[in-house]
Structure 1
């Protein structure tokens, strides 16, 4: 018995040592746990000449929620949010081309191109109608998709989307106009820490080794991200002319202390939408589904529960 106990202790110490020496292993384990809690499986699909990686879970016959991440992010951003929906919905969160585990070819990454790639992705999966949710750049892409393919979209959730000229300039845009380096592109550990503080009011609590590993990954992609950002600027598609074309009910959800995209954007967007709903979360930053996933999910579920068959074009149940 003593040998067994000693063996277990040595095994646990060994595992802890692996995690301490290999933050990548710890991140991978944390991701797997979050996937299991969310009821999501990792999948891959080749669309055209691109390999797209995504999570999927929930009943295959249920209505689809498609989750679209923002700039410099990936499908993991949705894990804690998604766990609240996989019991009732087919939930899909993808890595957009150019991000996460999906292919990153030398190609176009403007929001218009990405919206068309998203349409090709949904077609490949056989999705005919869906609820779209996007954050930041992903919100911009989701809004374009809803404007271009209104017959496919049951509803749209836009969480602090880019794409409109806010009445008040955010700290992010003020810093760019002053000639500072792009604060969304980290080129050092210090940059990454500053990025977390810019995006969140209260950054997620993570072990230092994990934060350092995530910083290393972000730094390794810095040149790619800057190139993508420059395309977003030079090939910018304003949402103001597009929003009136969105026929689906649309939730505008924003963190009141968003320093990346100012909450005053709602003042521009709400009057242009046919069926808008608005939620502003106090003491919250640019990525509410990460900073406060449960509260964000509660607001979004309330939005879904309030949808009527007339709004979504869905035949009422017999």
Structure 2
């Protein structure tokens, strides 16, 4: 079925807009750094349901700045930094598995007032899918942007730096880890933008500067690189899981109306996985965007916002 695009009035996309204000908060007994966006109007019934945004591997809450801006007139927003990412220090002993991230997100959602509109990108999409499957009462609608479903095709294009493979090895990877750690923030940001965007030249100067600043900030966070490495390994291991704990077996348990968004130029998660993902979720529809990469919510926030609002409106009227 086609995805209805809302005709609601939305603000112009402002790619110079600074990140939404952030602070450490304790929600559901979990201490995380979060960025909040206000609900400033729109339909009162829709505004009563908050939107929760979950970033991908190596990302942070700032990945949702533009989409949250588009949706802020329709629902209050909460973008989280998962443990070990952004500005959220991981608790002692945190193992960075998908299951631990899911458990963290479920605790956060239980600490909010009622079910939410849950949106996840990449690894955050996998976490959101598993959350919706395990705790359906917490999720009003689900939006998955290039979710990290199992995709084991070997391709060097999926890495911002080929040395990342060696860096994950316990002994021989030391030299690669040191080389990666010594890479200037500007180079790290450039490589990540090249990987995630279909056309990196379209990224605004402000967003590039934000990315560079985030990488510079992470240099002072002792847990940042280990968290990224551990989460990467855990994500790949989750793709190897078969049986009842696999992502593909979890997908049919999702009961929330679901929107799956994919870019046809995604270098990280092949768009060939998009139809299977949408078919695996009982009440899902698929939107494939042309000339878009791995982070559609950053590349085309206005189109994604209209699709999300179409989902919210249709779900409210039980016509999704």
Q: Match for residue 90 of structure 2? A: 104
Q: Match for residue 10 of structure 2? A: none
Deviates more, 1:135-144 or 1:149-158: 149-158
Q: Distance between the aligned counterparts of 1:201 and 1:142, measured in 2?
A: 24
Stretches of structure 1 lacking an aligned partner (at least 5 in a row): 1-29, 313-318
Q: Match for residue 225 of structure 1? A: 228
Contact 2:85 2:227 in 1 (8 A): no
Q: Say yes or no: does 1:303 pair with 2:318.
A: no
Q: Match for residue 58 of structure 1? A: 39
Q: Say yes or no: does 1:148 pair with 2:134.
A: yes
Query: Which secondary structure does the structure 2 equivalent of 1:251 belong to?
Result: strand
> Cα deviations across residues 159-194 of structure 1 (Å, max 9, x unaligned)?
000123478979428x97x956689x9542334422
What displacement does 1:87 show? 1.7
**Match of residue 258, structure 1, among 266, 272, 281:** 266
The TM-score, its normalising length taken from structure 1, stands at 0.75
Larger radius of gyration: 1
RMSD: 3.4
Query: Which secondary structure does the structure 1 equivalent of 2:104 belong to?
Result: helix
Q: Distance between the aligned counterparts of 1:311 and 1:254, measured in 2?
A: 22
Question: Are residues 217 and 279 of structure 1, via their aligned partners in 2, closer, same or farther at CA, if it must alter by over 3 Å?
Answer: same
Question: Are residues 98 and 154 of structure 1, via their aligned partners in 2, closer, same or farther at CA, if it must alter by over 3 Å?
Answer: same
Within a 5 Å distance, the mapping from 1:247-286 to structure 2 comes to 247-286=255-294
Query: Which secondary structure does the structure 1 equivalent of 2:25 belong to?
Result: strand
Q: Distance between the aligned counterparts of 2:88 and 2:276, measured in 1?
A: 33
Within a 5 Å distance, the mapping from 1:1-318 to structure 2 comes to 34-35=18-19, 41-47=21-27, 50-56=30-36, 57-58=38-39, 62-106=48-92, 107-125=94-112, 127-165=113-151, 171-172=157-158, 187=181, 188-189=183-184, 190-203=187-200, 204-206=203-205, 212-217=212-217, 221-236=224-239, 238-310=246-318
Q: Distance between the aligned counterparts of 2:252 and 2:49, measured in 1?
A: 25
The TM-score, its normalising length taken from structure 2, stands at 0.75
Deviates more, 1:164-173 or 1:81-90: 164-173
Contact 1:246 1:274 in 2 (8 A): yes
Q: Distance between the aligned counterparts of 1:32 and 1:42, measured in 2?
A: 17
Q: Distance between the aligned counterparts of 2:250 and 2:238, measured in 1?
A: 15
Query: Which secondary structure does the structure 1 equivalent of 2:124 belong to?
Result: helix
Q: How many residues align?
A: 277
Query: Which secondary structure does the structure 2 equivalent of 1:307 belong to?
Result: helix
Stretches of structure 2 lacking an aligned partner (at least 5 in a row): 1-13, 169-175
> Cα deviations across residues 184-229 of structure 1 (Å, max 9, x unaligned)?
x954233442221011122322267655434434556334311222
Contact 1:71 1:138 in 2 (8 A): yes
Contact 1:73 1:99 in 2 (8 A): yes
